Structure 1
Amino acid sequence: MSRNADYWIERFNMLPHPEGGYFKEVYRSREFVQREHLPERYDGERNFVTSIYFLLDKTQTSKFHRLKSDEIWYHLDGNGALVHIIYPDGKRNTIKLGYDYDKGEHLQAVIPMGSWFGAEVTDKAGYCLVGCAVAPGFNFNDFELAKRENLLNEFPDYADIINKLT
């Protein structure tokens, strides 16, 4: 069976994500880390971990955003993706997600908390399906979508990718 983006979107009943692409939450731990045991950046308790499926189709992008938690992306199906990261210290990196390790692709990408990141599909005729795990668990209070002008002011040397992913 030939699978495409529509197959996965329908199969998992995925919804549009605010950063772009489609998602479906597949796991949210039933246990919590209490607020007093978390760093001050959190405004309340958080699930231990959450996990979603996330899909980018063709020319869709994951817009630059950042989280208060670490996130790990796992390549699951389809073409590869480029995950563009601007770390809190201002350094930039691009991780190629995919199956071909000999061509510099990786099966997973780790995005440290506080890093700005976004992604794009490597083959504009294809799609990329990834799994994303967040710990402590994802909460929309911990999600910040980038404003182009703010990122350009802070990181003018990265204008090319900022303009593309905002």
Structure 2
Amino acid sequence: MNRYDARELAAALNLEPHTEGGFYRRTYQNDLEPMIDTPGGKRHLMSSIYYLLTEDAPIGHFHLNRSDIVHYYHVGDAIEYSLILPDGTLKTVVMGADVLGGQHLQLYVPGGVWKASRLLDGEHGFGLISEAVSPGFDYADMRLGERDELSERFAQHRALIDKLAL
């Protein structure tokens, strides 16, 4: 694998800061099909992004999406995902290249699940994934989690929420 740093990678992929943390760029939206009706309005059938966490921006803060999302690990250090299901169950999944060590190359997160991510320590200083979102992503369908609200709702996960929520 070629050695490069997070800034070079972000520049090469033309990434910009994301409101939830990290960096992103929309790489695809299904423009060939008609928009579909959703409870939030008309949406593309599918969209996709690159998403990068770095040592300088190591956290994707807790947020909730209406759409289903499939994450695909590409390169760099492992990324840990914390998922709080609607019933309050916490699920932790690590995405990375060490499949035999229990890491995952793909992760499905259904709409309605609170999700946060954090870059794990490693040799690269970044982790790069892609996300495929269906129906396609729209900011109107995403809600950033507020620390106080999430801590009250999911008190059993307060320590994690304190680390990963705004």
State the TM-score bracket (shorter-chain normalisation). over 0.9
Q: Which runs of 5+ in 1 are unaligned?
A: none
Could you report, residue by residue, the CA deviation over 1:100-158 in whole angstroms, capped at 9, with x for unpaired residues?
Answer: 11211000111110000010011166210000110000001001000111100010110
Q: SS in structure 2 opposite 1:118?
A: strand
Aligned position for 1:105: 103
Aligned position for 1:55: 52
Q: SS in structure 2 opposite 1:27?
A: strand
In 2: Cα distance, 1:58 partner to 1:47 partner: 33
Q: CA deviation at 1:32?
A: 3.5
| RMSD across aligned positions (CA) | 1.3
In 1: Cα distance, 2:129 partner to 2:36 partner: 29
- Structure 2 counterparts to residues 10-159 of structure 1, below 5 A: 10-30=11-31, 31-35=33-37, 38=38, 42-58=39-55, 60-123=58-121, 126-159=125-158
- What is the TM-score of this pair, normalised by structure 1? 0.92
In 1: Cα distance, 2:145 partner to 2:99 partner: 31
Matched-pair contact (CA < 8 Å) for 1:21–1:56:
yes
Segments of 4+ in structure 1 off by > 6 A? none
Q: Which runs of 5+ in 2 are unaligned?
A: none
- What is the TM-score of this pair, normalised by structure 2? 0.92
